[in-house]
Chains A and B, each alone.
Chain A
Amino acid sequence: MKRIEIRVHAGAFAENKDIARDLRLKELIPSLEKNEDIVLDFEGVEAATQSFIHALISDLLRKYGGDVLDRVEFKSCNDTVKKIITIVVDYMQEGTA
């Protein structure tokens, strides 16, 4: 199980897409390729932009389909972050279905 603390990388307002891209390419995709499950821990993240979340997870949905959501857990998200993640996940499934 791979655990990533988003606040440690992106701060309390997660908006830097370059950091999201690095996490995706260096942590998320390699873990999924190794069949490792992932916990994205949003403890202490007060808000995130749609662009940040898109850069973090949209390619996972594109590459592995909706089933990837069985292998990625979004932990300790506040309401705002939950909604942004849901928007991106819905959007990717609508757009790539």
Chain B
Amino acid sequence: MRIHIPNSAFLGNIDPFIRGFDPSSPEALEITANDKWTSVHPVALSMIAALGLAVKPDRIRCQRFEARSVHYFVRMGLLKMLNISSDMVIQEHEPAGRFIPLTQIRASAELTRFITEMIPLLHLEPEQAKTLGYIVSELVRNVLEHAEAPSGAVLCAQYYKKSNSIRIGIADTGCGIKATITRAHRAGTDLEAIRLALMPGITGTTPKEGGTEQNAGAGLFFIKSIASVNRDFFIIYSGSGFYKLLKKSPARSRRLKADPFADRHSAGADMPSWKGTVVGVDITLDQTEEFSLLLDAIRDTYSSAVRERRKERYKRPRFT
């Protein structure tokens, strides 16, 4: 496998970074980076770390990074997680240190502990902390319950002062969304599977509406909805499918859509195949609605989507 870290890869312009990923020869990983400097979304680091954890440490080849980049990679824990040695000693952190370094989570109790410990690291207001905790919990639990990923979930997050936003990336190298969703629903492509996984009430654990006693099929819908109401980016990438919720302009309605393809989005069905699932989310803090207001919007869409889908299956009278 080969992955190249470009100058810039944030959710708005992440497509070329993903298209540049070469999944061939999965037993080895080569990491290269732009010669001058790099500035990337945490999702890019989570992807690289997840790939690295899936191969033997002696099969990882990493170019010598330029000093400004290596500082960032060391600070975010990339080199440590991949057992890549670095001569650099970090003397100082950023003043506030508002980031969560790369973290691997493999068990439910680990996740609970992590959520408790991560909030103080980002110095968030209580309402913002609820939103972040919610997103991390739902996304990581999805990995733990459905992904069958030996390395679990790999995530990191960072606060960006200029945009006053938190950016989060979570990646796994498990079975992917199509394998999970097609246990109970029909999906011909990875992108179709992503579409189903983002719809409320659809889970790979049962073909029935309402889910099972343990799974409602609503986790990803909630996350996409949080991004949509806050007018933020959200991406999901699995197999060769890629979906990006685009930012809404302030003039557009905040009304939520049950079908992710009805939202303002871009999508691709021919990306380099990612064995597993990757999710990236931005939370712009200036425009983060109070969490309970987000729930009002979600409530209407969630119930009506289920009602609409049930109606689609009603038997119709035959008029002759």
Within 8 Å of chain A (Cβ to Cβ): is B222? Answer: yes
B152-170 interface mask toward A, CB cutoff 8 Å, 1 = contact, 0 = none?
0000000000000000000
Interface residues on chain B, size class: 35 or more
Nearest neighbor of B222 in chain A, beta-carbon distance = A50
Which residues of the other chain, A, contact B37 by a CB distance below 8 angstroms? none
Asked if B214 contacts A17 (CB within 8 A), the reply is yes
Chain B binder among A33-41, A53-61, A67-75? A53-61
A47 to B116, CA, bound (A): 12
Which residues of B lie under 8 Å from residue A94 when comparing CB positions? 303, 306-307, 310
Q: Which residues of B contact A83 (CB under 8 A)?
A: 292, 295-296, 299
Q: Which of B81-89, B133-141, B227-235, B271-279 contacts its partner?
A: B133-141
B286 within 8 A of A: no
Smallest distance from the beta carbon of B298 to chain A beta carbons, Å? 7
Beyond A83-B292, A87-B295, A90-B299, whether A11 also contacts B218 by CB under 8 A is no
Query: By the criterion CB–CB under 8 Å, are B303 and A91 in contact?
Result: yes
B213–A59 touching, CB < 8 Å: yes
Q: Does A5 contact B (CB under 8 A)?
A: no
Q: Is the CB of A58 within 8 A of B303?
A: no
CA distance A54 to B210 in the complex (A): 10
**Residue A76, interface by CB 8 Å:** no
User: Does A49 interact with chain B (Cβ within 8 Å)?
Assistant: yes
Q: Given A47-B134, A49-B134 in contact, is the A21-B112 Cβ separation under 8 Å? A: no
Contact A95 B133 (CB under 8 A): no
Q: Find chain A residues with CB under 8 A from B285 CB.
A: none
B122 to chain A, nearest CB (A): 14
5 nearest CB pairs, A to B: A95-B210, A59-B213, A83-B295, A15-B137, A95-B209
B-binding residues in A (CB < 8 A): 11, 13, 15-18, 21, 24, 46-47, 49-51, 54-55, 58-59, 62, 79-80, 83-84, 86-88, 90-92, 94-96
Extra pairs beyond A55-B213, A91-B303 (16, CB < 8 Å) = A13-B130, A16-B112, A18-B108, A47-B291, A50-B222, A51-B141, A51-B215, A51-B216, A51-B219, A54-B215, A80-B130, A83-B295, A87-B302, A87-B303, A91-B306, A95-B211
